[in-house]
Structures are given as C-alpha cells and as structure tokens.
Amino acid sequence: MAGPVSHRFETLFVGDLAPWFRQLCIGQDHLFSFDMVAGRFVVLCFYGSARETQAQQALARLLAHRAMFDGQALAFFGVSCDSADEANADLAPAAGVRHFADKDGAISRAYGVAPRDGAMDLADLRRCWLVLDPRLRIIATFPLNDAGTASVFHFLGTLPTPALYGQGTNTPVLAIPGVFEPEFCARLIGLHQATGGTPSGMQTEGATVADPGFKRRRDVQLTDNAMIAQIQTRIFRRVVPEIRHVFQFNATRLERLILAVYDAAEAGRFGAHRDNTVAATAHRRFAVSINLNDDFDGGSLVFPEYSRQEFRPSLGGALVFSCSLLHAVTPMTRGRRYACLPFVYDDDAAAKRRTHAAPTYFNSAV
C-alpha cells in the first residue's frame, strides 16, 4: 500500500521580499499587477475558499475593521483558490479591499501556501495571513485560525503610518545639476509649444492604452536629427559618467527622446508605476528626468516604496533612478512642467529589446 503523499512547499520568511504577480481580481476583467501596491502596508489573507468556516470568520473580522483598510496606508488582498468564489458578490473589489481569483494556485504556490508539486487541492493549502511593509517585504505571518486572526488585527493596530516606517532611509536616486543649459532648455520648450504635443498613453502587454485618471501628460516625439544629436551628446557626456560612477553601470544605449508637459490646467499627473514591467519595456535600466523649467508647482517625483519625500530637479538638472523603482508624478497645481524623459540601457539589454522577451514576474528567487 502506498504511503501518504509528502508535498514540497516554497518557504518564505519574515524579511523576505514577497513574490510579485499578475492575476485577476474577483469582479474585474483585467489583470492586477501586485507590485503596484508598494508604498503602503499590505495584508494578504490566503483563505482558500470563502465557503469555509475559518475563511468566513476571517472575512467577518475584516468587515468589522473595514475602516482600517483605506487603500492609502493599508490595503487588504484575499486569495481564493475556489472557482465558486468568483460569483460571490461579497468579494467584489472596493476601496482598499480586493480578492484574487487564484484558480490555478500560482500565487499560493509562490507564497508557500499550496504545494509546488501536483495538482492544486484545497485540502493541501497552508492557510495563513501575511503582512507586508511598503517595500512589499514580509514583516509578519499568522495562521488562519481564531488566534492567528485575532493576532493579525492586533498587529495592524501597532503599525506606524507608511511615511514614518523606515524613516531616515535614503531614496536611491541620483540628482545631477546642469545637464542642459538654460538657453537649450528654452529651445526645447519652444519645440513642444510649437505643436502642443499629444496625450501620452501607458504601455501594457501588447498595447498602449489611455487612462487620463492615472496619467495626464502631453508628449512630443523628437524627429530632428540635429537636435537629437545635441541631446544625446549632453546625456552621454554629463549623465552616463555619473551613472557609471554611482551605480557601476555602463549605459551605451538611449531610448525615447521625447519632450513632455504636465499642465496644471489639465490636472497633469502620473500615478505610481514602474518603467520596465512589460515585455516591450523590460530592457530599460535607468530613467532620466530632466526639467526644462522651474516656474511651476506640483509635478514632483515621489518614490513611495522608500519615503514620501518629493524630488524636483533644478532647471536643466536631471533625476536618475532605476526603472524598477515604483514612482509617481504628483498632481500639478500651478503652471506647466516641461521635461525631457529618456531611458538608458546597455548592450545586453538591447538584445532583450530586440526579442521583447517577457521577464519572469514571480521574483521569489531575488
């Protein structure tokens, strides 16, 4: 007679980076990118099926503490492996609360909740709670039982605001003054003003989409070879050596020479995003944001994984940062912010760009 099946599970510890993933949320028809929730505390509840008693008790406790989950300081994500839950109206998305439809168990396997081997079976799940910090690192785990559920809500009550968590941590960005001369900035602004630009979309897998509530910016693609050469020369002489010095990265390629404007009259902004998480952008290594003027308010860069500090390059100055950092442009409140926004990468990344190879998105091995 065969003995009991012994399953193997991934093992995650407090301090580990939580795996990223893309998955459908119950009640929605598009994939949700989990990495985009960085910048706040996050609760993950792996309850398996909302029809089970322990899950119902956990969801009742969530409802009783609903005010905690505003989506800004704290967000909740349930993970269901039961296809029957997709018709449960109580699991529809709401501000600060969503439930993932993990029918194939991909999320649960990555988090060590479902076994790595064999078919996904509800009976094999190691149901639990996880609490993540604003960088999406695991800071606490609790079993999904009466004591564990009580403990997780007590723990949540002890958390500081995200702005105070890790206070004093430096944001890994590089500020470089004087990349463009004021006169050169004025010429570039004139080029943008000559046409006014076109609304800028967002790249997704296989398409560029418009979402004015998330991104509101107008871009001009540079086509004049002489002007392009002048910009390239300044970046490769004044920015690339700094990147090599600070990050030990030798940038050899430049992408996307555009001029952009964030306009207060149009409520210019760009929500929190990363610049290299779809196949068409996976080659990007560092973003370079060069301000062409300074007579505006708002339009600052923020990096919510690290702090609420706002960064604003000086006139003609650049802010350089890794394309993998979550960042946003704060809403404009006065005037217009003009900027030149290229990306740099190297020869190895150029090969990835040619093939548009999709990156592996579960990063538990990182």
Query: Please, is 184 exposed, middle or buried when counting C-beta atoms within 10 Å of its C-beta (0-12, 13-18, 19+)?
Result: middle
Confidence of residue 273 (pLDDT cuts 50, 70, 90): very high
Q: What is the pLDDT of residue 358?
A: 42
Q: For the segment 207-246, what is each residue's pLDDT rounded down to a tens digit?
A: 678 888 899 999 999 999 999 999 999 999 999 999 999 9
Least confident of 151-155, 323-327, 356-360: 356-360
Across residues 270-282, what is the average pLDDT?
Answer: 92
Name the pairing type of β-strands 343-345 and 253-255.
antiparallel
Other residues' Cβ atoms within 10 Å of the Cβ of residue 355: 10
Q: What is the pLDDT of residue 163?
A: 77
Say if residues 138 and 13 touch (Cβ distance below 8 Å).
Answer: yes
Q: What is the pLDDT of residue 364?
A: 32
pLDDT over 90 percentage in the chain: 82
Question: What secondary structure letter does DSSP report for 316?
Answer: T
Q: What is the pLDDT of residue 169?
A: 67
Q: What is the pLDDT of residue 69?
A: 97
Integer Rg of the chain from CA: 23
Least confident of 73-87, 163-177, 278-292: 163-177
Tokens for 4, please give them.
């009991």
Is domain 22-156 given the CATH code 3.40.30.10 in the classification? Answer: yes
Long-range CB pairs of 157-163 (<8 Å, 24+ gap) are 159/41, 159/74, 161/73, 162/39, 162/40, 162/41, 162/73, 162/134, 162/304, 162/308, 163/307, 163/308
Cα–Cα distance measured from residue 114 to residue 125, given in angstroms and rounded to the nearest whole number:
5
Instruction: Express the helix, strand and coil content of the chain in percent, nearest 5 each.
Output: 25, 25, 45
Q: Which helix (H) or strand (E) holds 345?
A: strand 343-345
Q: For the segment 175-203, what is each residue's pLDDT rounded down to a tens digit?
A: 999 999 999 999 999 999 999 999 998 77
Instruction: Please list the residue range(s) of the chain that carry CATH number 3.40.30.10.
Output: 22-156
Residue 320 has pLDDT above 80, yes or no: yes
Closest listed residue to residue 340, CA positions, set 249, 231, 233: 231
CA 249 to chain centre: 23
Q: What is the pLDDT of residue 211?
A: 85
Say if residues 269 and 302 touch (Cβ distance below 8 Å).
Answer: no
Q: What is the pLDDT of residue 4?
A: 53
Across residues 47-76, what is the average pLDDT?
Answer: 96
Q: What is the pLDDT of residue 366?
A: 28
Q: How many CA atoms lie within 13 A of 139 on its CB side?
A: 18
DSSP-assigned beta bridge partners for residue 79 = 46, 100
Mean pLDDT of the chain: 92
Q: How many helices (H) and strands (E) does the chain have?
A: 7, 23
Say if residues 316 and 179 touch (Cβ distance below 8 Å).
Answer: yes
Instruction: Please list the residue range(s) of the chain that carry CATH number 2.60.120.620.
Output: 174-355
What dihedral angle (degrees, nearest 10) is formed by the CA atoms of 77, 170, 258, 220?
70
Domain 174-355: give its CATH superfamily: q2cbj1_9rhob like domain (2.60.120.620)
Confidence of residue 204 (pLDDT cuts 50, 70, 90): confident
